[in-house]
Amino acid sequence: MEFNKFNEKIIKQLEKLNIKNSIDLITYYPFRYELVKRSIINELNDGDNIIIDGYCEKLPVVYYINKKMNKMSFKINIGGNILGVAIYNRGFLKSKIKIGTPITVYGKYDLKHQFVTANNMELSLLGNETRIVPIYHSTYGITSKQINILIRKTNIEVKNIIPEYLYKKYNLLPKGESIIEVHNPSSIVKLNKARAALKYEELFLFMLKINYLKMNKNMIGLSRNVKRKDIDEFVMSLPFNLTMDQTKAVNDIYKDLISGKRMNRLLQGDVGSGKTIVSFIAIYINYLAGYQSALMAPTEILAVQHFNNILKIFKNYGINVGLLTGKMKTSEKKKICADLLENKIDVLIGTHALFTNNVMYNNLGLVITDEQHRFGVRERTNFKNKGILPDVLYMSATPIPRTYALTLYGDMDVSNIKTMPSGRKDVITILKNESEMREVLQRIHNEIKLNHQVYVIAPSIEESEKINMENVYDLEEKFNQAFGKICKIGILHGKMSGKEKDEIMNRFKDNKIAILISTTVIEVGVDVKNATMMVIFDSYRFGLSTLHQLRGRVGRNDLQSYCILISNVERERLNVLTNTNDGFKISEEDFILRGGGDIFGVRQSGDMVFKIADIRRDYKILLKAKEDSEEYLKSNHYLGNKAIENFLIEETDLG
């Protein structure tokens, strides 16, 4: 069946999972598998979760509890043992169940009453074999099982893309067969083979693209006639002196921009190391040469922050700066777009909106993306620009270990900012037990008395039955009891609307809120200089890199700042943070201790999202893929392979 033949409701649900067509659907891979094996009736203990099959012994009876809820009861014969079964909301199956109908039930076993409270059932026998059940990330309104059924209904032909000799070299399963196997596993051995083939293909194509870009790195780009003296004068006019690493980064960028070759540079530096000003200088260089610049931030808050900052910095230079975000009125957007096309705007700052289809630049020369956002390939092709492809600068506060960087960013040049601006005091980080809460509150109180502000982080929004951890709403209550009389407390979390979030964030910026209780949604780049304390509850729940980034929200000027990590467990791991403020070191440690999931976990966008491969776990495959793709490119054989050629050209805009 074809994708667009599914009913509309299903298509809507799938869209929430970012599945927009048949290909998306069949490559929506399970994130784990469950082994389902028939329980043996004589070996069951009371309370076991069981899966058991037999034949209907006594016809079902359905009770309607209310309009929306019914309960069906029947008896099942399992090799002579009779079990009672109850299951909710399956009344619709009643007419299909006759005496002797085969039934498999999944549920909880009650030994004394010889009874199963089932949560699932199927009208078939399980058989003796172990079944491997794929589990998918699902969303409200569609279950993992439904996703699997939809995928199995979708039969489209899938061809091998990567060259056949590689299939032979590693004895890989053909792609079509692999896809069937991962959604409908026949055995663990074959499933593993299928997954390996898909991972290899994914990583091969990724590395092929990276290497192709690298090969074309010295591609012709814009050259700019900009005098060094003008840049130096601009730098002198800034309210502070650049650090040495900032100066080096500026030099790198200046050289790139005047070189006549296309820039593709990654600017890495810890939170607060001062990447933004470097990007503004790049924008200034580009402006002097007469080209437009675009600066893309991952969120509205950050876009607005950049916008306000750049207005200050460019105040006396007659540079026109525009702001474009998704939530602006259509009429406002239209005006901005018109100005942009007429070259009345020199610098456009915004969110993803910058590269939507109707935004056309007059002579875009430079694109900068802030905070961990590497363009997805699709976005890269979306530069609607008259003229040559722009230079590109990526900024990231999540350094990744060198070995990985060389591979994953192989197509880019890298500038690192390792030193913090002078006068900055290291954030003092303290690890506390839950039993030491009095002292923590005392420390918070001290900051409040100084009219400083405090961030408080909780891992979840509201109380959850399953996991015992601090949540925003509980903390709000507790903090109101402790501090409500002396200061204002605000909350921020991901379920709030964008507008609500912005409002709270702005009030915090204006010091109208002293304590901000939040999940990790507070943005990486948010700059509130007066905030001097970060308190993180249940901090063991976070990776070191995430904690380090959270901590980077404080210590943004010469005030001594503090980070208090609260946890009774994993103290050794957390102590890495009390010992160092070096983001590069921390990311290495994170890799060793937690396996990088955290580092790549935050890169939720752009090229880094793999559907089945996991960079760290599949690092060996990645290295093979790297080697193979280099060899393949060198051989020039790709030039005859239409699928690959299209993939490289379409997806990398280097046509």
Q: Which is nearer to Mg ion, 163 or 525 (CB)?
A: 525
- Give which of Mg ion, ligand ADP, none residue 543 binds (C-beta under 5 to 8 Å, depending on kind): none
Interface size with ligand ADP, residues (CB under 6 A):
18
CB closer to ligand ADP, 205 vs 295: 295
Binding part of the chain for ligand ADP, among 72-80, 237-245, 537-545, 636-644 by CB under 6 A, reads 237-245
Closer by beta carbon to ligand ADP, 13 or else 273? 273
Which of residues 398 and 407 has its CB atom nearest to ligand ADP in the complex?
A: 398
**Residue 527 near which of ligand ADP, Mg ion, none (CB within 5-8 Å, type-dependent):** ligand ADP
Query: Residue 627: CB partners within 8 Å, gap ≥ 6?
Result: none
Asked whether the CA dihedral 597, 602, 608, 609 is positive or negative, the reply is positive
Q: Looking at 6-14, 76-84, 274-282, 577-585, which segment touches ligand ADP (CB under 6 A)?
A: 274-282
Q: Which of residues 243-262 bind ligand ADP (CB under 6 A)?
A: 243, 246
**DSSP string over 432-447:** E-GGGHHHHHHHHHHH
Would you put residue 8 in left (φ > 0), alpha (ψ -120 to 50) or beta? alpha
Q: Rule CB under 6 A: is residue 60 a binding residue for ligand ADP? A: no
Compare residues 104 and 299 and give the one whose CB is closer to Mg ion: 299
d(CA 307, CA 276): 11
Is 516 in contact with 508 (CB distance < 8 Å)? yes
> Least distance to ligand ADP from the beta carbon of 272, Å?
5
Sequence-separated (6 or more) residues with CB below 8 Å from residue 20: 14
Q: What is the DSSP secondary-structure string of 590-604?
A: HHHHHTTHHHHHT--
Residue type at 72? M
What is the closest distance, in whole angstroms, from the C-beta atom of residue 602 to ligand ADP in the complex? 14
Which tokens go with 30?
């399970």
State the nearest-atom distance from the C-beta of 590 to ligand ADP, in Å: 18
* Residue 583 lies near ligand ADP (rule: CB under 6 A): no
In degrees and rounded to multiples of 5, residue 649 shows phi and psi of -75, -50
- Closest approach of Mg ion to the CB of residue 550, in Å: 14
Q: Is 274 in the site for ligand ADP (CB under 6 A)?
A: yes
d(CA 521, CA 501): 9
CB of 273 to Mg ion, least distance (A): 9
Provide the minimum distance between the beta carbon of 605 and Mg ion in the complex, in angstroms, as a whole number. 16
Cβ contact 573:540 at 8 Å: yes
Which residue number, 280 or 600, has a Cβ lying nearer to ligand ADP? 280
Distance CA(477)–CA(457), nearest Å, equals 14
- Residues 405-434 touching ligand ADP, rule: CB under 6 A, are 421
- Under the criterion CB under 5 A, does residue 525 sit at the interface with Mg ion? yes
Q: Which two tokens stand for residue 636?
A: 């020039």
Helices 275-288 & 300-313, crossing angle to 10 degrees? 60
Which residue has its beta carbon closest to ligand ADP?
A: 274
Find the part of the chain contacting ligand ADP (CB under 6 A) among 54-62, 182-190, 268-276, 601-609.
Answer: 268-276
Report how far residue 639's alpha carbon sits from residue 644's, in angstroms, rounded to the nearest whole number.
8
276 near ligand ADP (CB under 6 A): yes
Question: In this structure, are residues 461 and 486 in contact, taking their beta carbons and an 8 Å threshold?
Answer: no
Compute the radius of gyration of the chain from its Cα atoms: 29
Residues in 533-572 at the binding interface with ligand ADP, rule: CB under 6 A: 556
Site for Mg ion in 288-307 (CB under 5 A): none
For ligand ADP, the binding residues in 498-527 under the rule CB under 6 A are 525, 527
In the complex with ligand ADP, which residue's Cβ is closer, 45 or 316?
A: 316
From 11-19, 265-273, 319-327, 567-575, span contacting ligand ADP (CB under 6 A): 265-273
Q: How far is the CB of 452 from ligand ADP (least distance, A)?
A: 16
Least distance CB 396 / ligand ADP (angstroms): 10
Alpha-carbon gap, residue 28 to 273, rounded angstroms: 38
At 209 the three-state DSSP class reads helix
Sign of CA pseudo-dihedral 85, 90, 94, 98:
negative
Q: In the chain, what is the greatest distance between 2 CA atoms, to the nearest angstrom?
A: 94
* Residue (173 or 586) nearer to Mg ion, CB: 586
Q: Which residues of the shown chain bind Mg ion in the complex (CB under 5 A)?
A: 525
Binding site for ligand ADP (CB under 6 A): 240-243, 246, 269, 271-277, 397, 421, 525, 527, 556
